[in-house]
Amino acid sequence: MNVRIEEGWKQALASEWEAPYFEQLTGFVSERYRQATIYPPGNRIFAAFDACPFDKVKVVILGQDPYHGPGQANGLCFSVNPGIAMPPSLINIFKEIHDDTGSPMPADGDLSRWAAQGVLLLNATLTVEAHQAGSHQGKGWETFTDHAIEALSRNRENLVFILWGSYAKSKSSLIDHHPTRPRYRHTVDFSGTTTSRSPTTTLPATGSSLLYGNNTTVTTTLHAFAVKHYMSELKNALCVAL
């Protein structure tokens, strides 16, 4: 199957394109686009991958499924195009950033500027019916995006995985499963509360909590080895301009 997706991702996920589940998934999605209003637009289904090539990923932020209101979903989790009102989840993210750093609310909710800096903004489900949250869950997208997370975990080094909310946290078992050498799990739970304004995480005995701020703040768990040897790279990865 010839899937239009960024070449690095196309190679990394090569085994998916001919898999029976993916054939069934694409058949289902194609039929639903013909019969109903589906978000995002068809040419934006793989926008998260196209905007953040496989070998450029530094940070992974996981969402659940696309926004289901008119004009909202643009293929990047939590993101909306300029001119579209920010959904509550995105407003909460920017409020947390403001509370931690003092940075003003941005003029729009377009997170493509994050993707351009190496942040993969990935929903677990890549399509949704208009006004029907979760309507394309259980159709095969979760298998596909799980395999994308596993491909990053296997083939890339020193990535930061930010898991906001219980659904995203359930994906932590997919991370850090390298067969021959230790890896470092980086997960963050977005608190979204006024009493705990920074993202929080449970630290392992050998971990450190690093707070990076420029125009954004992210807290992540890092093994002491990663702190010593990859401080500069991770700091650059996490100082994402709003």
| Catalytic residue from among 50, 55, 65, 146 | 65
**And the tokens for 162?**
């930010």
- 100: annotated active-site residue: no
What does residue 180 show for φ and ψ, rounded to 5 degrees?
-125, -15
Query: Distance between CA atoms of 39 and 134, rounded to whole angstroms?
Result: 12
Q: For residue 106, give every residue at least 6 positions away whose Cβ sits within 8 Å of its Cβ, in sequence order, or none.
A: 94, 242
**And the tokens for 221?**
């768990």
- Chain mean position to CA 91: 17
**And the tokens for 178?**
């390298």
The catalytic residues are: 65
